[in-house]
Structure formats: C-alpha cells, structure tokens
Structure 1
Amino acid sequence: MITTARNSDDSLSAADFRGARPTRADGPEEPVCFVVDPKPGIRGLVVNVCSELGLRVDQFDRLDAMIETAKRRKPDLIFLEPAIDGRDGEQAMQDLIAAEFRCPIQLMSGLNAVLTEELRRAGERSGLPMLPILQKPFRQPAVRRLVHELGLRRDFLSTVNVSLSDVLKRGWLELWYQPKIDLRGRMFAGAEGYVRARHPEHGVLPPDSILERADPAEMITLTQHVLVTALRDWRTFADVGVPIRFSINVPAFVLNRLPIASIIADERPKSGNWPGLILEINEDEIVHDLSLAQKVAKALKPHNVDIAIDDFGRAYSSLAQLKEMPFRELKIDRSFVANCDSDRMNSGLCETIIELAHRFGVKAVAEGIETAAELKALHKMGCDLGQGYLFARPMQRDHFIKLLRERGRGKPAA
C-alpha cells in the first residue's frame, strides 16, 4: 500500500535515520544542511529554522549546483523539491542516486502525493536514505521536529528540558503581540497574541520547545491562561487609548473541553468599547468538524467573540460548499503568501481565497507578509488585513503599547 503519511507503519521515521549521516573526521562540528528549492520563500523558511537550531545551511535553486557543492562539503541532511530545474522529479532522483548520497534526504513537494511517494520509494530502493515526504505547504514546527528527531540540533536550547507545566507553575509564560494591519487604510486594526516563555537563565524559549511535548491537559490549562491574560491585557491597552481587538490561537479539541463562554462572561472587560475577541483555530484541526465550528461560533457570538480559521488554503473546497460561513476571518497560510507577487500559483491561490472570503462577507487576512512587493500584490487583490515581519515581529506587551502610542492608532502603520 502506498502511503504519504509521516511515521506510518510501512514508512520509516526520522528517528530511524539517527547515525545515517556521514561521519566527520574533523570532530563534532555543526551539521551541514542543504536546501534545494526554486522558491525563495520555501528555502527561507527551512534555512531560518535550521540555522536557529545550530546547523550550517547552504541553499540552492538548482540541483546541479547542490551536487557540485556536495563534492567539496558533505551534507548531513538534504531538503529537496524534486520538481527542480524544470525536471519531472524522476530525473532529479536519478541524479541523486548517481551521486550516492549517504545522508537523510527529505523530499518536500506540493506535487501529487502518490507520484511523490513513488519518487521517494524509487530512491529508497536504490539505497538512498529517504525520509517520509514533507507535503507542502508546511510550517516551521515540521522542520524543527525533523531536525530534532535526527539528532542534528546544536543550539544551546537543545539541552534545556522544560515542560509546559513548569512554565505555567513558575510564572514564566508571557503573551506577546503582533499587529494586524488594515491593508487598505494602512492602519493598525488589531493584534494576535503569541505564547512565549522566559526562562530565568536561558532567556526567551521558542514556543515549539515547550509546546511540542505538552499533553492535552496542559494545553487546556494553557488556553485558559492565555484567554484570561488577553482579556486582562486589553484593559491596559484601552487605558492608553488603543482598544484594539485581539486574537489568540485555540486548539480545536479544547473547544469541547473548556467552558470558553463562561470564562468570557466572567473575565471580559465591562467597558462599552470592548471590540470583542477572535479565536483562531488551525485549518487541519477544524476542517473535518465544521459542525463544531458552527456550533461554537453560534454559542460565542452573544459574547462578542468570533472564530477564525488559521493557516487556511488546502481546505478551500470544503468551505466553498458551505451555505453559511462560521468563521469571521480566513487567514491565508503564509506558504501561499510568500512570493505571491511573482509566483503565479501562490498569487492565484491568494486571490481565490480572498474572493471566497468576500463572497461570504468575512475578512481575508494574509499571514507572513515579508516584502513590499507581496504587500502591494495583496492590496491589489483586495485583501483586507495582514500581518508579518514587514510590519513588525511579535513583541512584548509593553513594547507594543509603546509602539502604538508613538505611531498613534489612526496613523499609517507602514
């Protein structure tokens, strides 16, 4: 049976490849990672994560350049888009087989899953250490997990063992905020809250390092803590004249296990200018239970709380068939936003999602805007809101308040 699922019964996992990388004669230096993909956005995502984890990373937009570099410097891990240089994927695999690579090879592709799996198996049959497919679009945690499972991490945080329970119990949790921008008026329109943990010795820890091992009970406790913190933080923002609307991320399974409506009723600001709250739910978690989304949206509406679908794109067909949209916002996955000014496929996907949102009378939000060209393209498409490093990174609450006061809520954001 052909499968594209990671860690499936008939497919090896990354952990099975520990030790499969080349042995270096010059000692335990930083591992070398090669990233081969024609799209700068995909390369940048993988490069950023691997660099943060202590790997030395080389990136290529051509396979022949990577193979030539490998003659001088052996990689410990290869990320490869098989449809590179206009090839059909099969030729790329033949070139890899001829080069006799010994390190784990991670195919990352948005091609037909069955065809990509056949390419992976062809490499495996020829003796290449092929990892399960990383299907596009993917996010940073997928890359982080892979590097960790392979035992390639060399960053100092790889030795820090802190659980989510520890963070909550010791009061290390912080809620940082990233501004959401009205792309038409270039004004501040809201903010999304992000979980951070500040270790007394190691500083701010990456969220993945504490969330990836969290159990359901810990996630429920975390969600309640974040919800209450966001509601209380709003009062601080309102006191300085910036009563903007917050959004926070909520795991789908928590919706049935946490009395969100009761918490909102008890903790919400009593001020008449409270704009409400948005709960963001990941597409992968909610798309198979849209009836739950509709039920939750209906229950929370009287409390001025809406829900949004996060990392949206692949479930377009499911939402397009609905008669009524339960989500107040459709947040376009950043992998589609990347290079939407020059990549025809990404541009088409963004435009299609924006049209879907407007057909239902809801907002389209672009995540991960990093360049002025992407911003210009999204504005032309009619995208309503946006966020990303082009405007600002997530920042501590007090820093964000200072930024808002300096610029003024009604002034252009960028």
Structure 2
Amino acid sequence: MQSTIEDLLNRFFGKRPKPSRRPRVLSPADAPPPGGQPVLGSTECVVVQPLGPERSNVLQALSRSGMKVREVASIDAEDFGKRKPHLVISSFDDPAKASDTVTRLASISYDGLVQPIGAGHGIVHLPSIKGGPRVLPPMPALLMPEDLIEVIETQGLSRNSAGQATVHLATALSKKWMSFAYQPKIALRTMQLAGAETLARVQHPIHGELLPGSFLPHSTAQDLRLLGLGSMRAALASWEPFYRLGFNLVLSVNIPLEALEIEEFSDLIRAHRPEDSRWPGLIVEVDAVDTIAAIDELKEFGAKMRQHGVVISLDNFGLGNTMTADLSEIGAAEIKLHPEIGQDVSKNPARAAICRAALDLAKIYKANLCCNSIETLADATFLRNLGCHSAQGHVFADAMDRVRFAQLLKSKVGRAAS
C-alpha cells in the first residue's frame, strides 16, 4: 500500500523531498535587508538622558518590543564604537542640541535616523542604515508607546525572548504587511487535492516572511477580529481564480473564538461570497478547547453561517477535554486533530488510539476527520487505511503563497477531487 500511496503523491505533487524540520519563525539571518547588509543579532537600545516627560512611554515601548535598555548621560564615542547598539534614542527641547547630537553620532561613524519626539527632537539610530543621519516625520506631540513601537518594528528591531524577529499584529495590519499562504488539503481516499487552508503571514520590509508565532502573541481581540475578516475575505476572493484553473476547492480559515462576531461575519459573507452555484462553501476553523465553554455561542454562529454556505471545523481536537466533552450540538462539519497527534502516528500506539477514537466521534458528529502536520508516507498510509477523510502536512505540500499555489494548480489541471 505504501508504494501505491507514494505513486499517487508523486503523480500529483511530484517527487517529495525528505521531511524537514518544522517551520520556525524567521530570524534576522534568514532574510538580509536590501543591499545585502546583515541584520545584527543584538537588540540593545541606549537611551541618552534627558528624555523629559516622554521617558516612561519610551521605556514602555522598548520593553514591549523586547529590547534590552541601557540608559546613559551622554554619547560616549568609545563605548558606542565597542558595543554598537542597534538603537540610540535621545530627546532635547533645543533643536540645536539635537542637531549637535546628530553631528556627534555621524562623527563616530554611526549612520542613523533623526526622529522628532514631542516638542523636542529624538535620535533613533540604526547602524545598518547607510547614507548618514536622516530626518523622519515628527511624532505626535504626546508620544505614546505605540508611536515608537511602530518605528522599532518597521526597522526590524523588535525581538521575543528567543531573539526571534517579532511585530505587533496592529502594526502589520496598519502597514498592510499581511499576506496569505495556502496549504493543500488532500482527500485521503482518492489522494486528490480537495481544499486548502488559508494561513496568515507578515511580509516584513527587512525580515521578509514572518510566521504567526512572530505576530499573533499578545494580539488584542480587535486585531484578531480584523485579521479574521481579512482571512475570510481572502479565502472568498481566491475561490474563483482557483476554480478557473480546474479545481473546485473548499478553502478554510482559522479564526479565534474571541474574534467571531456573528453579524459582522454574516455581512462579509453576503457581500463577498461567490455567486456561482458551484461554490462549495467555506470552512471556519475554531479552537476545539475554546468551544467547550461557548457551545451555545458556536451553535448560533454555526446555524447562521450554514445559511451562507459556511461550516465549522473543530481545530486542535484531542487536547484538553475535547475528546470527552459533548460538542455535537455545534454542528461541526469537520474535526481537525492537533498537529502532534498525527506525527509518527504509525509508530505510536497511543496516538493511533486517539485517532481511532476521534474517527468514532466524527461519525457520531456526522463530520469529517482531518489530520494535520503529516510528515511521512508511513503516517499518511496509516491514516488512509484507518479511514480518515483528509490530511495536511509536509509529505503532501508545505504552505505556499497564492502565486505558487496557482502555479501548482495550473500544472495539475484535471486532477481535482470530485
């Protein structure tokens, strides 16, 4: 059976590479900025006193951006030359003093940006920028942490505790850095392409593509709501061009429970859903653990969405009490297992038992069972023989941008799942 499934995969996707390590959040070394200059790994910021009333907001912004802060009384050429901090911030009531500071920075071979802060002037210094000090548009008279965070994140200086590049979702949304990738979903019985999950990405001007771990933590419900609406709109807009290439795909989007607004999403569906009667609908994935405490809410949302051709998938199924809680009233059309359950499932009896139990629950719920993050042919074969309906993972195809996904479809016209 393994040779059969491998032949089917090769016929549709081409010969698959060996499984790689799981995707990680990109670091500065992964994507050098324009001009080929490497992005430094340090995230130290030097704050030159006095900052005046803006000091607390500046320090708050730096802390939220994951930067290490060092406060000094004045610019020390020898110290700066040795430590080469990423960022230098200073503020003066007298523009002449600010100009003098710029001159001193330039004299010790530091190229940077001049950032007016409030009534005074601030120096935002970036060693990687060439061409000497430059003046940025003034910040608001009352400097708020978000103002400085936007500058820091635009320049790619924000980091998490692991040193990985990060950006606040609010910044990415306001800067229009959001994009969407598509990961194929395979119907295991026929081994044909049946759908794709729409996955959010950030296209950072310095670091390139950032994965959700770089921008979803600490997001507000409002930001998640805007991202959810954008994801749904992107999925709705993508169906027709994919259909023209010969594939009637059921696309899915993942939306946090706290971001779901019934009327707002209903209005968006009515306004942007394809009018073609052949449109197969859309899947909205919600975290199964979160649904346990919101069954009535999800039941109402699901009933409303089904009127517009949208169904619910219980994502990350298998965690917490999702296997024992009665979620049948939600009316989910799909159960999607947590990624870890499907990994090495052919060798792990405990995970195999969870898959069998989930398949039994799927039959009770009258839902399909989707297995996520499948990385080997052995696991794909095992799940197919078990009777699972669909799967995603590296063994089939990694997530790809819309252009690459369309190219894949164009090269495989006529092989869509029925």
TM-score of the superposed pair, with normalisation by structure 1? 0.60
Matched with 1:396 is 401
- Tell me the distance in 2 between the aligned counterparts of 1:51 and 1:162: 11
User: How many equivalent residue pairs?
Assistant: 269
Q: Which 5+ residue runs of structure 1 have no aligned equivalent?
A: 1-43, 56-147
Correspondences of 1:12-411 after superposition (within 5 Å): 151-153=161-163, 155=164, 157=165, 162-256=167-261, 259-314=264-319, 315-319=321-325, 321=326, 324=329, 326-410=331-415
Equivalent position amino acid for 1:278 in 2: I
Residue by residue, what CA displacement relative to the aligned partner does 1:62-91 show, whole Å, maximum 9, x if unpaired? xxxxxxxxxxxxxxxxxxxxxxxxxxxxxx
CA RMSD of aligned residues (A): 2.5
Shift of 1:370: 0.4
- Tell me the distance in 1 between the aligned counterparts of 2:168 and 2:26: 20
Equivalent position amino acid for 1:407 in 2: K
Residue by residue, what CA displacement relative to the aligned partner does 1:205-261 show, whole Å, maximum 9, x if unpaired? 122211113211111111111111211122221232223110000110122466111
- Tell me the distance in 2 between the aligned counterparts of 1:189 and 1:322: 25
- Tell me the distance in 2 between the aligned counterparts of 1:305 and 1:180: 17
Residue by residue, what CA displacement relative to the aligned partner does 1:108-148 show, whole Å, maximum 9, x if unpaired? xxxxxxxxxxxxxxxxxxxxxxxxxxxxxxxxxxxxxxxx8
Q: Which 5+ residue runs of structure 2 have no aligned equivalent?
A: 1-18, 30-158
Shift of 1:360: 2.6
**Does the 8 A contact of 2:337 with 2:372 survive in 1?**
yes
In 2 relative to 1, CA 54–355 (structure 1 residues): closer, same or farther, beyond 3 Å? Answer: farther
- Tell me the distance in 1 between the aligned counterparts of 2:25 and 2:171: 27
342-351 or 197-206: bigger deviation: 197-206
Shift of 1:409: 4.9
Matched position secondary structure for 2:290: helix
TM-score of the superposed pair, with normalisation by structure 2? 0.60
Shift of 1:384: 0.3
**Does the 8 A contact of 1:173 with 1:197 survive in 2?**
yes
In 2 relative to 1, CA 166–409 (structure 1 residues): closer, same or farther, beyond 3 Å? Answer: farther
- Tell me the distance in 1 between the aligned counterparts of 2:331 and 2:203: 36
- Tell me the distance in 2 between the aligned counterparts of 1:265 and 1:173: 23
**Does the 8 A contact of 1:340 with 1:374 survive in 2?**
yes
Matched with 1:133 is none
**Does the 8 A contact of 1:316 with 1:353 survive in 2?**
no
Shift of 1:403: 0.5
**Does the 8 A contact of 1:246 with 1:278 survive in 2?**
yes
Shift of 1:358: 1.8
Name which one, 1 or 2, has greater alpha-carbon Rg: 2
175-184 or 403-412: bigger deviation: 403-412
**Does the 8 A contact of 2:313 with 2:335 survive in 1?**
yes
**Does the 8 A contact of 1:220 with 1:258 survive in 2?**
no
In 2 relative to 1, CA 261–218 (structure 1 residues): closer, same or farther, beyond 3 Å? Answer: same
Shift of 1:180: 0.4
Equivalent position amino acid for 1:182 in 2: A
- Tell me the distance in 1 between the aligned counterparts of 2:23 and 2:248: 34
